[in-house]
Amino acid sequence: MKIIAHGHSSIELRGREYRLLIDPFFTEAEQVQAITDIDYILLSHAHGDHMTGALEVAKQNGAKVIGIYELTAHMQSLGAKVEPLGIGGTLDLGETKITMVPAVHSSSIFHEEPFSVEYMGAPVGFIIEMDGKRVYHAGDTAIFSDMKLWATLYPLDAAILPIGGVYTMDMRQAAMAAELLNVDQVVPIHYNTFPAIEIEPQDFVELLKSSGRKAWFLAPGEAFVL
């Protein structure tokens, strides 16, 4: 399994069978056009920094959108092919399996004129099994003790965790989450995109180092292989 960063919280997973794109945040047409051969798009929630460009990528690639029921119903109404999941449910694609797990956050779409907020179902994370490896993409979330269950039910090889604070868990909480999840490899996301979530990456490296864990800070386009 190859883990490729596309900025903010957007991650692409490439395996022998499928290519998955998680939480796109593509504000330019060139970014959308550069994403090719995607089979499924996984959306953790409906905030703009986690699904901007998702519809365009889905249509361009003929990809199905996977998400909580309300969010996939919204995407289907816009013309996307969808595969709804419920929390705790698993989409079994053979060697590749996608399990939806809870997140502690919110999920909504904001409409400007007239202003309104449209609820889009619960926020979620995903556990993806691919090529004999398992990775957890937490989406936007606080730390919560149920993370320890994933280490028991779905032993993980890596976790993709938000670390920027303010809107999600911060670096200290993310380091504790890595312990709960029992992972040695962490890909940090949701940091340094906006002033409110600016952090010093080396601080997180040091937090993990004391427990022998490694942080993979990936610039857009960079990757590592599990």
57-73 pLDDT, tens digit each: 999 999 999 999 999 99
Mean pLDDT of the chain, nearest integer: 97
Task: Judge contact between 136 and 156, C-beta under 8 A.
Answer: yes
Surface-to-core class of residue 117, CB atoms within 10 Å of its CB (0-12 exposed, 13-18 middle, 19+ buried): exposed
| Tokens 């816009």 sit on residue | 78
End-to-end CA distance of the chain: 6
Structure tokens at 36: 């090719």
Residue 113 confidence (pLDDT) above 90: no
When pLDDT is cut at 50, 70 and 90, the band that residue 210 belongs to is confident
**Distance (Å, whole) CA 183 – CA 158:** 6
Report the candidate in 225, 158, 159, 161 with the shortest Cα–Cα distance to residue 191: 161
Contacts of 206 (CB under 8 A, 6+ apart): none
Q: What value does the mean pLDDT take over residues 192-206?
A: 97
pLDDT at 142: 98
Q: What value does the mean pLDDT take over residues 131-152?
A: 97
**Domain with residues 2-225, CATH architecture:** 4-Layer Sandwich (3.60)
Q: What value does the mean pLDDT take over residues 114-128?
A: 96
**Distance (Å, whole) CA 154 – CA 149:** 8
